[in-house]
Amino acid sequence: MAKAASGLRGARHHTEKPLQDFTAASHDLSALGALGSLLKATGDIREGMHTLSGLTASLNEEWGQEAKLLGEVSDAFDLLDVLLSAAARAKKG
């Protein structure tokens, strides 16, 4: 569980820079040129990119919360293991 929690915490580091780049690109859609203007798609594309950026940010936040919970559960199991070992030693005498 501790490894899983660590992996989830690290996921944000893999998405942070690409998300920033993607969000920045949504402000400059000049690459679409006349095609975007003719199709009046630029606004829709920009809106879609903002939506995807927001969803990715929300997913990163959720992963962080899940990582925290997994870490806490892992710590609880580690403590339980220590307590059970101590109880077994005390029982043996």
pLDDT along the chain (93 residues), means of 10: 84 85 80 66 84 92 92 94 95 86
Of 21, 10, 11, nearest to 49 by C-alpha is 21
Place of tokens 């809106």: 47
Distance, CA of 57 to CA of 27 (rounded, Å): 17
Per-position b or e across 49-83, b if 16+ CB within 10 A of its CB: beeebeebeeebeebeeebeebbeebeeeeeeeee
Of 42, 12, 13, nearest to 29 by C-alpha is 42
pLDDT of res. 77: 95
For the chain, what are the domain ranges? Answer: 2-92
pLDDT of res. 38: 64
Prediction pTM value: 0.67
Of 20, 10, 1, nearest to 63 by C-alpha is 10
